[in-house]
């Protein structure tokens, strides 16, 4: 013998839908309020730089303007990728002509130490991809104007 | 949200002091150091980074090594490779380094190619020139 359901099936469907919407809407402000540190921990450096790169770029340009050293070129913030080991290791502000700058997706970093690590050499190369293992091309005419160390 | 930065007066004073003390010592070494570092960089990056790193530089662009004058926490001696149009790169005497912090979440080091070592008069930025490499020597006492 089956007992009658306390909530009719059709109404239960609507209640479920409402609950799901409420949960989704409740989570939205949390996602919006995600700070930089949490974004790095949860989603990685690439995502954090994509989300907050614009804010960091404006901040750096403001600092430069205050010091009387503003650049006339276009700027943007992109992730730094270790070319030898792979993976995101930080962020950099790059500057250059707007058309060229739009093709820059990351800065590739190659590092070399010798003399018992007394002498350290670091190449910073604006590249056209975030996946240098599949082939990359240097974006000529674009330079690095700031290096950003991310705090975890 | 509150954005923090280091005291600009302290940073500028540090920068000026570094410029006055370190630049005369380092600058005469840079042509020799530049040739050496560039040669090593070419060899190293060809082996490790791949041909794309250096071989795609356009013919009208030039790069050279200059001293880095830091004005943040402490004083370090380093060199930076700057790249840009030849006429502009020729004007670069050093790279000024300024440190700042963004929302306690990131520390940024700003690199400004300058044409005048006396930064106490103000920062004289060379346009269209950016940093393409860094080299530093760890000093042991």
Of A35, A145, A34, the closest CA to residue A91 belongs to A145
In the prediction, which pLDDT does B58 show? 67
What are the structure tokens assigned to B20, written together? 């006055």
- Kindly write down the DSSP assignment for every residue of B22-52, as one continuous string: HHHHHGGGHHHHHHHHHHHHHHHIIIII-GG
Residue A152 has pLDDT above 80, yes or no: no
Q: Are A107 and A129 in contact (CB under 8 A)?
A: no
* Residue in chain A lying closest to B114 (CA): A69
Phi, psi of B2 (to 5 degrees): -80, 130
Report the gap between the CA of A24 and the closest CA in chain B (Å).
26
Q: State ipTM.
A: 0.73
Which residue among B8, B49, B56 places its CB closest to the CB of A140?
B56
Using the Cβ of B125 and the Cβ atoms of chain A, whether some distance falls under 8 Å is answered with yes
Among A42-46, A138-142, B9-13, B29-33, which stretch is predicted with the lowest mean pLDDT? B29-33
pTM of the model: 0.69
Using the Cβ of B115 and the Cβ atoms of chain A, whether some distance falls under 8 Å is answered with no
Q: Are A112 and A124 in contact (CB under 8 A)?
A: no
Which residue among B44, B52, B54 places its CB closest to the CB of A137?
B52
Residues 6+ apart with CB under 8 A from B33: B65, B79
A32-81 pLDDT per residue, tens: 457 877 887 788 888 888 889 999 999 999 999 998 889 889 999 999 99
* Residue in chain A lying closest to B39 (CA): A121
Planar angle of CA B120, A145, B57, nearest 5 degrees: 125
Contact A121 B37 (CB under 8 A): yes
């Amino acid at each position: 013998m089956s007992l009658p359901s306390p909530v009719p099936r059709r109404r239960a469907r609507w209640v479920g839908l409402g609950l799901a919407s409420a949960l989704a809407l409740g989570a939205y402000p949390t996602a919006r309020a995600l700070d930089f540190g949490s974004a790095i921990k949860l989603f990685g450096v690439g995502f954090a730089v994509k989300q907050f790169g614009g804010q960091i770029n404006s901040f750096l340009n403001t600092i430069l303007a205050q010091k009387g050293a503003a650049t006339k070129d276009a700027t943007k913030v992109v992730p730094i990728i270790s070319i030898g080991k792979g993976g995101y290791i930080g962020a950099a502000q790059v500057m250059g002509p707007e058309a060229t700058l739009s093709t820059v997706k990351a800065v590739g970093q190659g590092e070399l130490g010798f003399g018992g690590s007394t002498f350290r050499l670091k190449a910073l190369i604006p590249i056209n991809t975030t996946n240098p293992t599949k082939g990359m091309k240097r974006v000529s005419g674009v330079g690095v104007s700031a290096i950003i160390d991310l705090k975890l | 949200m509150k954005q923090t930065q280091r005291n600009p007066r302290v940073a500028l004073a540090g920068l000026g002091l570094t410029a006055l003390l370190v630049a005369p010592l380092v600058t005469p070494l840079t042509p020799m150091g530049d040739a050496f570092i560039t040669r090593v960089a070419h060899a190293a990056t060809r082996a490790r980074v791949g041909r794309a790193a250096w071989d795609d530089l356009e013919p009208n662009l030039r790069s050279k090594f200059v001293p880095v004058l830091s004005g943040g926490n402490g004083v370090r001696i380093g060199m930076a490779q700057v790249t840009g149009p030849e006429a502009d790169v020729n004007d670069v005497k050093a790279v000024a380094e300024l440190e700042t912090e963004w929302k306690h979440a990131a520390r940024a080091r700003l690199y400004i190619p300058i044409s005048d070592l006396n930064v106490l008069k103000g920062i004289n930025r060379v346009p269209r020139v950016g940093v393409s490499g860094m080299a530093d020597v760890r000093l042991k006492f």
